[in-house]
Structure 1
Amino acid sequence: MACMNERGAERSRSINRRKSKRCRAEGHAEGQKKGMDALAALNRVLLKEKRYDDLARASSDAAYRQKLLEDLGIE
């Protein structure tokens, strides 16, 4: 009987690991899409306002890019 419980427990842990892995992957994909959408919005604003120097700097400076996102209210 103990072996049945151990196998059941291992099966449950295995199922939980797969669910957890899938949830992490879904969360990662969602976060990546959100970040890409924010970057696209920032690029649109900077292009519309002809802020080409800011666009160039934001493409290589993560801290500056984050500051622009915050200053422009882009999430």
Structure 2
Amino acid sequence: MTQSIIVTLVGLFLITVFTNILTTLKTIVLSKKIMNPVYILVFVDAMIFVTVVAKMNSSKGLHFTIAYALGKT
């Protein structure tokens, strides 16, 4: 594996961890019945998800999928 692929895998892992943080924040805001920030959080999460899935589909190999799955855990 080249250095650029490793950096991309680490970036994918960290972005996926960040989306988990956004999901937790969304749940907290929803439980307090504050709706306006939820729309923004869902939009940002959806944009990140589409970008990550597009990157995973355009790549060759299983390591991008594994990095995504590890970030979700």
TM range, smaller chain: 0.3 to 0.5
Bigger radius of gyration among the two = 1
Structure 2 length normalisation: TM-score? 0.47
Structure 1 length normalisation: TM-score? 0.46
Higher relative contact order at CA 8 Å, sep ≥6: structure 1 or structure 2? Answer: 2
